[in-house]
Amino acid sequence: MADPRSSNRNYPVPSTENTIEQDFLRLIELVGLLDVDLATVIAALAGKAATEHDHAIDDITGLATALSAKAAANHNHALSGLSDVTATGAPVGTVLVKTSGGWQAGGLDAAIIQSGTIDAARLPTLTTGLAPLASPAFSGTPSAPTPAPGTNTTQLATTAFVAAAAAALVASSPATLDTLNELAAALGNDANFATTVTTALGNKQPLSAVLTAFAALAWTSGDLLYAGAAGALARLPKGSDGQILTLASGLPSWAAAPATGVAVDNGALAVGSFALLRKTNSGSVNSGSTINGSNLSPSYYQNSGAAWTNSGSASGSWRNVSGITITQSDIGLFQRIS
């Protein structure tokens, strides 16, 4: 007969090798063993406490000793007592800041607010390293909302706002006039440009009917301009070769030269008169210099002979006003001075 047993209490268990009669006897043995064990368990439970019960600390062996080595519930911990906190040299009032590397000692004293009031004695800890409200000096790259174009308030103006305002000011100005320096240069760096222009305009010739008429005239080489009827500006077209300028009804006109030429009456040429005279002696007379009339001969254009003709000599003293030096036999313009 096989005799298999349980692994813990060594109870006899049925076996496929045994007959029913054999295992029945073994089950009777098992019941007896279980009865003994159950009686032992019941006796043991009878001395145990209920499921919901209280224990005094002293009733638990070793508990009082274990608790005596623990801190009180309302105790304080030093930062150095935390294994993952770097708190070497941390000042009074330092708080813990959780970082990816663990707890770190922070400079912000979150405990300055106590019972709803601010502990003024510890307030400086909070403001250390922070910018003041009045005239703060920022570092790095501070940013702010960009105001709308045209904003005219005490709102902060960002670089984007300033750039947009400058672009709007320049608008479509040409590249050579899109800066204040270029505008100043264009105005000649004249701080009183408006006054300068006004003064310059005041020195200009005002509008005149005479000047307007003058501008409207069309003339060619040799034409003469003169005051016509009622003082209106008029044009005398150039004459033909050999003609002389004369007056007809008080207005200038061209006429044929007399066949015998134009005689010069020396006695009629008063001081201040001008005449075309030929220098008859040797040497030269510079422009502006004087010469005795005895060395000058009145000259006129002989129409019939198509040549200049001399007639006698001039009287008094004459100044060369030709603008050039006159030498012997040259004809020049002279003015009688005595």
- Token couple for 147: 């105001």
- Percent of the chain that is helix, strand, coil (3-state, to 5): 30, 20, 50
112 close to 119: Cβ distance less than 8 angstroms: yes
Strands 296-302 and 274-279: antiparallel
Q: Which of 111, 114, 82 is nearest to 98 (CA)?
A: 82
Long-range contacts of 269-272 (CB under 8 A, 24+ apart): 269/314, 269/315, 269/336, 270/336, 271/316, 271/336, 271/337, 271/338, 272/335, 272/336, 272/337
277: how many CB neighbours lie within 10 A of its CB?
A: 28
| Verdict on whether the full-model pTM lies above 0.85 | no
* pLDDT tens-place values along the chain, 338 residues long: 888 898 988 888 888 888 888 888 888 988 989 899 899 888 888 878 777 878 787 878 888 888 887 877 777 766 566 666 666 666 766 666 666 666 666 654 444 444 444 555 555 555 666 777 888 888 889 899 999 998 999 999 999 999 888 888 888 788 888 888 988 998 899 999 999 999 988 888 777 776 777 777 777 888 887 777 777 778 888 888 777 777 777 788 888 765 544 444 444 567 777 777 888 888 899 989 999 888 888 765 444 444 445 556 777 888 988 889 999 888 888 888 88
**Where are the chain's structural domains?**
1-47, 157-204, 209-243, 266-336
Intra-chain end-to-end CA distance of the chain, in Å: 188
